[in-house]
């Protein structure tokens, strides 16, 4: 500060050119300079404004910042100077040095997201002087149960503050559901918690989504999601025996006659290997058929049945005479067929004979000019197609009496027979010659008109042969005799 001198009286003597003198006096007083002080915080928080003020009632102010107000606001550390002037024009200068203090670091530690229905701990930084949460709490840590945005203001020892916020969300707990509540004996049942969870822990110790159980009891699982949320669920499993499974039906059946197969009567449900869901099905092919029967508890059992369709076949042919006399004892036979269990013969009217084998001995009866003897093979209960042989009855040589078709000359012969038409037009006549065993001797020929036809059998052995003649619906048999 400047100090002004104090002089009370001041005398002045003046002398002019002529040597004359005058003396005069003045009394002056001195005024002290203004007191210069700067008030304000010498330390303030970074980022805030610090108010510096000079003394009141000065005439003028001049700060080193250039400001001319009584007070100024500064935001930076440094030395600030103030020059004061009072009404008498006296000045004083003073300075102040201020420093800045950094604000405290504000961070909030928390888990986000956190599990719905649980408490989430939010904590500010350690060692702050004070805490003020947007919930109104003033502790370092708080517990929250709801999602939202939370704000914290922390203050350090210098009084500096910082504010920070955190937004936390909640995650619903994972869905926990065990759907199966029945164990069917014998066997295993699969229990599964919902797929896609982060981890599983069953009361059996298993850590997989699904487990296999073989006995009844209470089973529980803890299901965890990635954020660590857990849900627990349990199920009481009942052990019940499975239904008896049986397929009722023939293991063999005849072609063309569907075979009825039935599952266990009274079951709650059926599922056949054919896709049908009825208690009984009809099958028409050989194969292995299975059915799954389910009882009222939902337990099921499987069973299978192999069935074979019998496809009967006809005998190749009947061996025996095709021309017989009345009341003649003859035999007919067939070759055996693999798989046939019996044979059933059908005889012409009036014939007698009985057998279930491949050969039958019969006594003929000439009730008609032609008839059939038939046989079918039986495969269990399945009859096969008929094989038949047409048999004609010997009527002897017919003379040229006007009703005869032709005459045969000579008969007996050495093997050559001339067939001479009677002269009447009976239309085309088919002739064929067999031996006594029914074997073909002369291939079929057709007679027409009145021209004679020669039958050559010179190479055949002596004996009786039969010529069958057919015209329209009528057959006649003639006996031929070769004698050499």
Residue-range domains of the chain with CATH: 1-101 (2.60.40.10), 114-171 (no CATH), 182-241 (no CATH), 252-308 (no CATH), 323-388 (no CATH), 406-482 (2.60.40.3080)
Task: Report, as an integer, the average pLDDT of 212-230.
Answer: 86
Reported in sequence order, the residue ranges of 46-156 that DSSP labels E, i.e. its strands, are 50-53, 60-63, 71-74, 78-85, 91-101, 114-115, 120-123, 130-133, 141-144, 148-155
Is the model's pLDDT at 170 over the cut of 60?
A: yes
Residue 397 pLDDT: 42
Residue 402 pLDDT: 41
Confidence (pTM) = 0.41
**Residue 186 banded pLDDT, cuts 50, 70, 90:** confident
**CA-CA distances (angstroms) from residue 337 to 39, 198, 316, 333?**
135, 71, 9, 12
Task: Report, as an integer, the average pLDDT of 101-110.
Answer: 92
Residue found by looking up tokens 């073909």 in the block: 440
CA 223 to CA 143: how far, in whole Å? 25
**Residue 479 banded pLDDT, cuts 50, 70, 90:** confident
**Residue 8 banded pLDDT, cuts 50, 70, 90:** low
Task: Report, as an integer, the average pLDDT of 123-138.
Answer: 94
**Residue 13 banded pLDDT, cuts 50, 70, 90:** confident
Tokens of 367: 């009730």
Is the model's pLDDT at 4 over the cut of 50?
A: no
Task: Report, as an integer, the average pLDDT of 53-82.
Answer: 94
Is the model's pLDDT at 349 over the cut of 90?
A: no
Residue 27 pLDDT: 76
Is the model's pLDDT at 362 over the cut of 50?
A: yes
Reported in sequence order, the residue ranges of 251-399 that DSSP labels E, i.e. its strands, are 252-254, 259-262, 269-272, 280-283, 287-294, 300-310, 323-324, 329-333, 342-346, 359-363, 370-379, 382-383, 387-393
Is the model's pLDDT at 9 over the cut of 70?
A: no
**Residue 5 banded pLDDT, cuts 50, 70, 90:** very low
Instruction: Using alpha carbons, select from 302, 239, 238 the residue that is nearest to residue 267.
Output: 302
Residue 423 pLDDT: 63
Contact yes or no for 178/193 (Cβ under 8 A): yes
Task: Report, as an integer, the average pLDDT of 283-308.
Answer: 92
Of residues 25 and 62, more confidence is placed in 62
Model confidence pLDDT, tens digit, residues 402-451:
456 778 878 888 888 888 776 666 678 888 998 888 888 888 888 877 77
Across all residues in the chain, what is the average pLDDT? 86
Of residues 89 and 30, more confidence is placed in 89
Sign of the dihedral defined by the CA atoms of residues 60, 65, 66, 70, in that order:
negative
CA 454 to CA 158: how far, in whole Å? 152
DSSP annotation of 413: B
Query: What percentage of the chain exceeds 90 in pLDDT?
Result: 43
Model confidence pLDDT, tens digit, residues 447-476:
877 777 889 998 999 988 998 888 887 888
Residues facing 291 on adjacent strands: 272, 303
Residue 152 pLDDT: 96
**β-strands 43-45, 91-101: how paired?**
parallel
Q: Which of 101-105, 269-273, 324-328 has the lowest mean pLDDT?
A: 324-328
Alpha carbons within 13 angstroms on the beta-carbon side of residue 275 total 0
Residue 426 pLDDT: 66
Highest mean pLDDT among 88-102, 342-356, 391-405, 415-429: 88-102
Tokens of 423: 């002269």
**Residue 356 banded pLDDT, cuts 50, 70, 90:** confident
CA 205 to CA 260: how far, in whole Å? 50
Q: Which of 139-153, 257-271, 468-482 has the lowest mean pLDDT?
A: 468-482
**CA-CA distances (angstroms) from residue 271 to 108, 281, 283, 301?**
63, 11, 15, 10
Task: Report, as an integer, the average pLDDT of 174-198.
Answer: 80
Residue 279 pLDDT: 95
Of residues 184 and 374, more confidence is placed in 374
Model confidence pLDDT, tens digit, residues 234-260:
998 888 887 889 999 999 888 888 999
Instruction: Using alpha carbons, select from 68, 72, 139 the residue that is nearest to residue 108.
Output: 139
Is the model's pLDDT at 3 over the cut of 60?
A: no
Is the model's pLDDT at 1 over the cut of 60?
A: no
Residue 182 pLDDT: 64
Stated as kind and residue range, the H or E segment containing 418 is: strand 416-421
CA 332 to CA 262: how far, in whole Å? 44
């Amino acid at each position: 500060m400047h100090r002004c001198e104090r002089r009370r009286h001041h005398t002045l003597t003046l002398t002019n050119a002529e040597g004359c003198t005058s003396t005069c006096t003045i009394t002056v007083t001195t005024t002290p300079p203004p007191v210069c002080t700067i008030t304000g915080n010498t330390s303030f928080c970074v980022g805030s404004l610090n108010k510096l003020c000079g003394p009141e009632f000065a005439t003028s102010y001049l700060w080193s910042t250039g400001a001319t107000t009584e007070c100024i606001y500064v935001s930076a550390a440094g030395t600030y100077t103030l020059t004061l002037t009072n009404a008498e024009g006296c000045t004083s200068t003073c300075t102040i040095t201020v420093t800045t203090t950094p604000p405290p670091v504000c961070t909030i530690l928390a888990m986000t997201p956190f599990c719905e229905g649980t408490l989430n701990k939010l904590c500010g930084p350690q060692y702050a002087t004070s805490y003020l949460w947007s919930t109104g709490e003033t502790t370092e840590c708080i517990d929250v149960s709801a999602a939202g945005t939370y704000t914290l203001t922390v203050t350090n020892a210098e009084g500096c503050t910082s504010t920070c916020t955190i937004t936390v969300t909640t995650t619903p707990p994972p869905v926990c559901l065990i759907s199966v509540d029945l164990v069917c004996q014998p066997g295993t049942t699969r229990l599964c918690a919902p797929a896609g969870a982060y981890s599983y822990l069953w009361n059996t110790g298993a850590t997989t989504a699904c487990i296999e159980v073989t006995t009844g009891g209470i089973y529980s699982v803890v299901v965890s999601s990635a954020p660590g949320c857990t849900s627990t669920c349990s199920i009481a499993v009942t052990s019940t025996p499975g239904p008896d499974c049986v397929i009722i039906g023939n293991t063999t059946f005849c072609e063309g006659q569907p075979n009825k197969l039935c599952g266990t009567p009274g079951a709650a449900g059926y599922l056949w290997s054919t896709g049908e869901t009825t208690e009984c099905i009809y099958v028409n092919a050989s194969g292995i058929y299975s059915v799954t029967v389910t009882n009222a508890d939902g337990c099921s059992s499987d069973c299978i049945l192999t069935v074979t369709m019998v496809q009967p076949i006809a005998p190749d042919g009947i061996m025996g005479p095709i021309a017989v006399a009345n009341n003649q004892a003859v035999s007919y036979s067939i070759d055996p067929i693999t798989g046939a269990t019996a044979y059933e013969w059908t005889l012409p009217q009036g014939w007698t004979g009985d057998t279930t084998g491949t050969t039958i001995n019969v006594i003929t009866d000439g009730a008609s000019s032609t008839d059939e003897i038939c046989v079918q093979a039986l495969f269990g209960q399945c009859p096969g197609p008929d094989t038949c042989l047409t048999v004609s009855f010997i009527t002897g040589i017919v003379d040229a009496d006007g009703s005869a078709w032709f005459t045969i000359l000579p008969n007996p012969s050495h093997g050559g027979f001339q067939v001479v038409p009677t002269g009447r037009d009976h239309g085309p006549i088919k002739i064929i010659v067999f031996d006594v065993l029914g074997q073909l001797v002369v291939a079929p020929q057709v007679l027409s008109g009145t021209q004679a036809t020669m039958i050559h059998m010179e190479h055949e052995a002596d004996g009786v042969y039969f010529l069958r003649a057919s015209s329209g619906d009528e057959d006649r048999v003639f006996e031929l005799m070769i004698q050499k």
